[in-house]
Structure 1
């Protein structure tokens, strides 16, 4: 029988000692033998680091996590996170992959400034790419990953096996759920409730929550809407799905009728969601599109909603159970657009009802011709979020969402969960 080595203790053993997971699993190691001998008092905290890159469709982000192991505590704790991001995402460099490597190399400077030089060689370096690379042809995506791998291999940090890869969409949702529940203290053995997550990226969107009713899993369209993994001696069976092509930028393309279009230089893509007199170029995923409002037509919320409904209807599955006590944290572009619309504070976030998105979408869309908003896409984006929540997932107007960017000063994303998975090997299936 394997000894029960707690997750974060295992993290310390793996990171500091350089032992393989198997070695950690098969022997109860004496911490005093493997923790670094530091010129500090015996009871001083010992600090460890981990670096996770989130290669998203609209930007590349670096998360440098600091963990503390104190002699007086059984487990290390996540002390803080250094976060930085760069736009555009790696997929924008599909035809100039060396730029992807330069982007990662630039962000690595953040890790070098954050992690003390003596700790570099034992600090793991991991990159996971999401929808931006999933939407690219496999050969182009692999070329970008190869560039990143070269930069990693040249770095002074610990580069584990499988350090650079494209993340499965379902795992993205599950690991975001793990991050948020870890940060909110809902993974403790005595925790009675968990929180659900809604993540709206540029290329994909995820929903994940812990169902209370068997029917929720049984009524899912296919088996891959349900995922299981073990964590802290508990087995979690989650409802989770990622919709590739339903992130906010991909939804813009689909609404405009530009998704998968060719000969872009000769076409202008029009929408009632844009101001009548608006005409400009817009880039996403390394491609540039000519977009405009409908000069001879009408603009406004109703027409816009009809357009975005085509992107949602028949594509997004409505889970059987959403309301029964599940608190949902919504982040990424849900948060960003709520800030842009003046619905929440850009630092504190806040609680919103679904109807708040709907109300503001109507106000913005019905005034875009007379009073163009700061972003010409704000009407489209707010209407899409409203449609996604209501006609997509099936949330009620009165459903309350927790809009957040950070929890305990840590970014709300899948990145922390992915780092925990890297050390713990959750065996998600």
Structure 2
């Protein structure tokens, strides 16, 4: 009887083991299928075939002192995704700004040739006819138009005829307003810094903002004008002429902007010289304080019809957030080695005093490779920038640390041209794109997780098939 009970017990135990083995194998099989599907889904989602259809765009910045050509490219399939447009080429046209060709318009075609031919080389021939070309003229042409609209139109007509001769999709040449210049510069730096984009949490359809979603203000300084643009803390404005509204990636932005014509570094210098014209010869004496006081005379702060003004009676709300200072702000301060964020405003002023007080012969020896025309203007330009930021825009020693002098962002020049192209090609949608790719860390985590599941399933399966006794012994 005992033998029969043992046999029955063993048979029951064998049946239980068989039943459990089948269930475990079924679970392992199901887990394997799920893991494989998950791996395929994550892999296919993250590793889509790279788009072969690349698009290009060309923007010519026709400034007061020179013209620069910028070439941008982006994957055609990702036109509404942020951060995909980047600069691939910059070509500086030899010669002054186009406004200086008003009496020699027949030379404009030759003037533009080298950079346009460079664009032919950089952009694949198959893409030429699909590549839009835009020319935006800024303060130099604004001043010419104020002097004579007929002369400004003549220059633009010749520019258009010259650019139409190239095999690109020419979209026209126009004089942009100071407000547009400020707005496009603001769009450019915030686009490149990723301030308009949002990331999406894994397993969540609710987007969350990146670590610092507050936009940067934009400080632009050219030869003939300067622009300040930022999102003020108070959304109501006392001056509607200085207000702009944008809706970008599903978020509304109320922006303050103003362009001060004739307050670019070159025109400001001419203004200063005009005030000192009673002398037949202007001779620098290396006195920073005297230069500073002379520059301050350019800013009329005697009246303000608003609660707060910059200068010349122009409304300026309280400064808010960080600012990117680019174009001549960067070029001048970079030459003077004053772009480091570790250098305080007091230290910048001290270093400017030292630079301006150096004898001219010593300056020429120290910077032998720099043209004397430009070298002779750096003391004034640096002093003017300090005066504009501190007295004109009311930055303080404390808020100075929020100014970031920027030349390039991720390989693209900080300036208005990228924002101009993004706007004209509708590259920035009003609403947030519906989907975003997984972050790299999330992708790696999921791939490793599901791969481990497959490995564990395979090991357990092998144990059950080849060494069931060890498996059940461990179970017991």
Shift of residue 69, structure 1, vs aligned partner: 3.9
Q: Distance in 2 between matches of 1:370 and 1:107?
A: 36
Q: Secondary structure at the match of 2:263?
A: coil
Does 1:307 find its partner at 2:294? yes
User: In the alignment, what sits opposite 1:93?
Assistant: 101
Shift of residue 85, structure 1, vs aligned partner: 0.8
Q: Distance in 2 between matches of 1:95 and 1:416?
A: 31
User: In the alignment, what sits opposite 2:407?
Assistant: 405
User: In the alignment, what sits opposite 2:325?
Assistant: 330
Please tell me whether the aligned partners of residues 82 and 191 of structure 2 are also in contact (alpha carbons under 8 angstroms): no
Deviates more, 1:77-86 or 1:113-122: 77-86
Shift of residue 53, structure 1, vs aligned partner: 0.5
Shift of residue 339, structure 1, vs aligned partner: 2.0
User: In the alignment, what sits opposite 1:19?
Assistant: none
Q: Which runs of 5+ in 2 are unaligned?
A: 1-47, 199-208, 302-310, 368-374, 430-476
CA 420–224 in structure 1, closer or farther in 2 if over 3 Å, else same:
same
- Higher RCO, Cα 8 Å, sep 6+: 2
Does 1:241 find its partner at 2:262? no
TM-score by length of 2: 0.67
Q: Distance in 1 between matches of 2:195 and 2:82?
A: 16
How far does the alpha carbon of each residue in 1:362-404 deviate from its partner, in whole angstroms, 9 at most, with x for none? Answer: 1122334684465222221111111101110000023122111
TM-score by length of 1: 0.74
Q: Distance in 1 between matches of 2:191 and 2:290?
A: 42
Deviates more, 1:103-112 or 1:146-155: 103-112
| Higher fraction of strand | 1
Which structure 2 residues correspond to residues 44-123 of structure 1 after superposition, within 5 A?
Answer: 44-69=51-76, 77-86=84-93, 87-123=95-131
Instruction: Give me the CA root mean square deviation.
Output: 2.8
User: In the alignment, what sits opposite 2:282?
Assistant: 292
Does 1:126 find its partner at 2:143? no
Please tell me whether the aligned partners of residues 200 and 248 of structure 1 are also in contact (alpha carbons under 8 angstroms): yes
Deviates more, 1:74-83 or 1:84-93: 74-83
Please tell me whether the aligned partners of residues 354 and 395 of structure 1 are also in contact (alpha carbons under 8 angstroms): no
Q: Distance in 1 between matches of 2:258 and 2:82?
A: 32
CA 363–313 in structure 1, closer or farther in 2 if over 3 Å, else same:
farther
Please tell me whether the aligned partners of residues 318 and 393 of structure 1 are also in contact (alpha carbons under 8 angstroms): no
Q: Distance in 2 between matches of 1:147 and 1:80?
A: 27
User: In the alignment, what sits opposite 2:227?
Assistant: 206
Please tell me whether the aligned partners of residues 350 and 404 of structure 1 are also in contact (alpha carbons under 8 angstroms): no
Q: Which runs of 5+ in 1 are unaligned?
A: 1-40, 259-267, 272-289
How far does the alpha carbon of each residue in 1:115-148 deviate from its partner, in whole angstroms, 9 at most, with x for none? Answer: 1111111110110000111111322221111111
Give the count of matched residue pairs: 345
User: In the alignment, what sits opposite 2:194?
Assistant: 185
Which structure 2 residues correspond to residues 6-405 of structure 1 after superposition, within 5 A?
Answer: 43-69=50-76, 77-86=84-93, 87-136=95-144, 137=147, 138-160=149-171, 163-189=172-198, 190=209, 192-214=213-235, 217-218=237-238, 222-257=239-274, 269=277, 292-293=282-283, 299-314=286-301, 315=311, 317=314, 319-322=316-319, 324=320, 326-344=321-339, 352-368=343-359, 371-372=362-363, 374=367, 375-398=375-398, 399-400=400-401, 401-405=403-407
CA 420–357 in structure 1, closer or farther in 2 if over 3 Å, else same:
same
Q: Secondary structure at the match of 2:85?
A: strand
Q: Secondary structure at the match of 2:397?
A: coil
How far does the alpha carbon of each residue in 1:233-257 deviate from its partner, in whole angstroms, 9 at most, with x for none? Answer: 3332101000000000000000111
Q: Secondary structure at the match of 1:257?
A: helix
**Is the radius of gyration larger for structure 1 or structure 2?**
2
